[in-house]
Amino acid sequence: MTDAHSTPHIAEQAGTLLLGGDLPVHRLGFGAMRIVGEGVWGPPRDRDEALAVLRRTVELGINFIDTADSYGPQISEQLIREALYPYADDLVIGTKAGFVRTGPAQWHRLGRPEYLRQQVEVSLRNLGVERIDLMQLHRIDPEVPLADQLGALVELQGEGKVGHIGLSEVSVDELSAARAITPIASVQNQYAPSFRQSEDVLEQCEKDGIAFLPWAPVGRGEMAAADSPLAAIAAEHGVSPVQLALSWLLHRSPVMLPIPGTSRVAHLEENTAAAAVRLSPEEVERISQLLS
């Protein structure tokens, strides 16, 4: 199995993309949703392990962390600050706003401009920064004009509090509508080898040089199961099915920026080691066909 211990800064082997055209990040990031409690609610079960995960993240060469005000809520951002502040010069943190949380596993869209502005201010305070590198609209609120939702972020951008603006869970048409309002640096949609409903969005992002951040990049656990459909090919490479799935994503597109998340250091190291796995074009196609 590919080992992160033997290769310091192994995430660098995933290659680099320019997020928003000016922020160089390695193409294997970290999603900080799972470092909080069950149902993405409350404090982590093991606070010391959560902090260790975050510190190990940057030791492995990961320099992009994705979080959200709604993870906890607020707790994920606060843990990031506790573990990593003062931040390394090359660390890019993206966060999101646009959900209200009322309990474990409960999510409610809220895109009113005053709420988004309030939540950006909260994130600035929680993260301990003067500017958020990447501020993503967590979901488009159908009850609020898109121009108003993005307009709030554009205003904050003008005030120097937001660097780049991104979107989450959008269609090609929604991406086009957003880009008519303001430049979009990233799109974060669910995407995995076994879940490719956003193929058209990925292709549009690739065409326009927009970073594509697949969430749940190894599916809902099926890739890691004993009967994983990738088990045989993974064995040929001497890697885990999870590592193979992440490698497939990295090979799939140069704008792909997977953000696998975990609450355990061992899983983080396994995920990050995928940066060193090399696949031939034929193997990439074989996996594509296997999971189509």
Active site residue 71: yes
Encoded amino acid at 209, one letter: G
Encoded amino acid at 146, one letter: L
Active-site hit among 71, 85, 87, 115: 71
* Phi then psi dihedrals of residue 129, to 5 deg: -125, 160
In Å, how far from its chain's centre is CA 225? 22
Residues contacting 146, CB < 8 A, separation 6+: 140, 174, 177, 178, 181
Beta strands at 99-103 and 92-97: parallel, antiparallel or unpaired: unpaired
- Using alpha carbons, select from 134, 136, 138, 135 the residue that is nearest to residue 109: 138
Encoded amino acid at 237, one letter: H
Residues contacting 56, CB < 8 A, separation 6+: 265, 268, 269
Q: Which residues carry out catalysis?
A: 71
